[in-house]
Structure 1
């Protein structure tokens, strides 16, 4: 059930969410957002540490003599895209938008944080992790590399993401793989340009690029077990300037997704093999740059069972999805780095709204559903009170 004290300050937290939404900040630029978060948590009695991962905030509250240590994470960053919602609190910054609902994630955790500081009905140590740059180069990884779990040890860590294509107020998760890994590669093929009328004097990289695009499609169909989901996407192919000039080079941008670490490695090896051999056959030089990589988000069984139990207590059995029937998502999430370090679980909270068309995250007309803010906050509060006993 929802918590009365959280409902009592709901309007305040919705207003805070709207303020975050109007002032979106990109990865590692969340200076205003993190300052507001740090100020509020300090006022509420948390020990606040800043600067981990540049703009990250970790707030700690210890109560009683419990020895358990719990971490809860919310991401803060926005996306580099133009908002098209016409909301009264729409982004005031051109080309920046909270199109993934991280403003909502922050408000949810802050709402729970205020309640927990007021009531303190737990025994142990609570670490609230406000993380930068989930959308770009992995703020979770950076915080971990800078000593997150050494400075703030956790016995378990939990995270949550809104999902506007699921009904409002419903929770979904499952043990094992929940979201896919994501790797991006930039391939550059170097040839010798020239006049389009004299290809014999050139080394044209475009035919090779076309061959590589087609060959990449055989990785999933012929190199990966057909019962293991995987995706290889060529999202960009850039070459040349006009009709009658053979270009010197071609740049291809590739993205891959999988749930299995071995499959992830196999896909990368296949990409590198295809590019190298095809480039050699066309007498070209190839360079492959791996831009970034997120591992698969793999939930731990014990913590996932606990997370589902708290969800049922918060919203009722009928509002919690059957984990056996939940299909893992091909989207990726850098909370996966935290799950590689500490046992935990990542959940999805449905935020669909019956009164309007629901656009997916990363859409310029996406809207976070404020009716779900207190649901998420009550969930976090219930989880803390049940875990730290």
Structure 2
């Protein structure tokens, strides 16, 4: 597999960086150690400018090509980990109990560092490469934070590219879904405020746990009976919290979950029906029900032409037979979508030998994917800023 020479020569270093980041995971907006590692490496590689503390822990590096050019290509990697206790038994497993790189953001950061080393060493392009190391992708608003901090005002980009590892057991494969590729997502919290009582006298209560349980079932009818069958939507209630004793009917019950969607009209319909159900249950049972809905991810939309350009760059590394745009949209979400709303670009997936799914305590990322991803990132800059 023809990874780029500078990156190939740096494979051992990339593995060391990856294992170090994996052993020291940090939750969103707390990636201070990670940002410090990134900052030092960029400076070691001779990156022209390194800017830190963007949206608290974000880092941006600028590399100017050796040829004149005004165009600027952005490359983005996320840095944060998840609140998951690692169960891999790897020699470089997390040293922070309850925190793990279970989504492979440590690999994405390492790949972008590998691309940075190559681009800074060769500079075989006309224009500027903008390297964006983003905090807090996992539902905490890192992309929106960087945008609010003036990311593209300070570091304008003509195009931008992102990447994610794919534990599909197919190393050396690269895929892109053109158009709407990943779902938008809203998170919700529902508080049912009832009336508690002794468990032996439930008739004196307005049992919020029973009401919340019934509401869970009715919420599932929103997708099955209100959303058109050919429109994709996923509504998942993922939390139910109530009570603290065997013999007490509690005062309150709390629900939480997510909605995934691909069309604005679908999420508007779902939110309306959820509010109507909460209002209806509140009236029917004589309780107070409060619904809090908030958009966390927009729909990720890949530009068709730039998707082709990304796959062409990937083909230089893995071969044309190993790239495809024939994949279905994913109902998972990704806040790179917020950047793509401002700057056109594309987001690809790079396969590796791991087969345990993302966000799993046993997730394993094959380090052999590191030079592959790094080379693809560097190659798209060279292609898009060719002389």
TM-score range, shorter chain: over 0.9
Q: Show the counterpart of 1:308.
A: 311
2: CA distance, partners of 1:69 / 1:141: 21
Task: Report the alpha carbon displacement of residue 263 of structure 1 after superposing the two structures with TM.
Answer: 1.1
Q: Show the counterpart of 1:19.
A: 20
1:99 to 77, 102, 107: 102
Deviates more, 1:190-199 or 1:130-139: 190-199
CA contact under 8 A between 1:83 and 1:95: conserved in structure 2?
yes
Residue 79 of structure 1 pairs with residue 52 of structure 2 = no
1:50 to 44, 49, 52: 52
Residue 369 of structure 1 pairs with residue 366 of structure 2 = yes
Cα displacement string for residues 271-322 of structure 1 (whole angstroms, at most 9, x for unaligned residues): 111111111111111112235511111111121121122222221122113x
2:117 to 89, 114, 117: 114
> Gapped runs of 5+ residues in structure 1?
none
Other structure's SS at 2:137 match: coil
Deviates more, 1:287-296 or 1:162-171: 287-296
Deviates more, 1:125-134 or 1:77-86: 77-86
Pairing 1:267-278 to 2, within 5 Å after superposition: 267-278=270-281
2: CA distance, partners of 1:83 / 1:195: 41
Task: Report the alpha carbon displacement of residue 50 of structure 1 after superposing the two structures with TM.
Answer: 0.5
Pairing 1:163-242 to 2, within 5 Å after superposition: 163-242=166-245
RMSD of aligned Cα (Å): 1.4
Pairing 1:331-342 to 2, within 5 Å after superposition: 331-342=332-343
TM-score normalised over the length of structure 1: 0.95
Other structure's SS at 1:128 match: strand
1: CA distance, partners of 2:275 / 2:137: 27
1: CA distance, partners of 2:282 / 2:374: 54
2: CA distance, partners of 1:171 / 1:332: 19
CA contact under 8 A between 1:211 and 1:278: conserved in structure 2?
no
2: CA distance, partners of 1:320 / 1:103: 24
Other structure's SS at 1:13 match: helix
2: CA distance, partners of 1:3 / 1:81: 34
Residue 62 of structure 1 pairs with residue 64 of structure 2 = yes
Deviates more, 1:34-43 or 1:283-292: 283-292
- Paired residue total: 383
Residue 134 of structure 1 pairs with residue 137 of structure 2 = yes
TM-score normalised over the length of structure 2: 0.95
Other structure's SS at 1:16 match: helix
Other structure's SS at 1:65 match: strand
Residue 347 of structure 1 pairs with residue 351 of structure 2 = no
CA contact under 8 A between 2:6 and 2:117: conserved in structure 1?
no
Task: Report the alpha carbon displacement of residue 207 of structure 1 after superposing the two structures with TM.
Answer: 3.1
Task: Report the alpha carbon displacement of residue 388 of structure 1 after superposing the two structures with TM.
Answer: 1.1
CA contact under 8 A between 1:186 and 1:291: conserved in structure 2?
no
Task: Report the alpha carbon displacement of residue 166 of structure 1 after superposing the two structures with TM.
Answer: 4.6
1: CA distance, partners of 2:36 / 2:179: 35
Other structure's SS at 2:70 match: coil
2: CA distance, partners of 1:27 / 1:44: 26
2: CA distance, partners of 1:80 / 1:268: 28
Cα displacement string for residues 103-133 of structure 1 (whole angstroms, at most 9, x for unaligned residues): 1111111111101101100010111000011
2: CA distance, partners of 1:37 / 1:180: 30
2: CA distance, partners of 1:245 / 1:91: 40
Residue 9 of structure 1 pairs with residue 6 of structure 2 = no
CA contact under 8 A between 2:42 and 2:50: conserved in structure 1?
yes
Cα displacement string for residues 138-184 of structure 1 (whole angstroms, at most 9, x for unaligned residues): 20110001110111111111100001125111001121111111211
Cα displacement string for residues 202-242 of structure 1 (whole angstroms, at most 9, x for unaligned residues): 22223322221111111111111101111111111222234
Q: Show the counterpart of 2:381.
A: 384
1: CA distance, partners of 2:221 / 2:175: 33
Q: Show the counterpart of 1:281.
A: 284
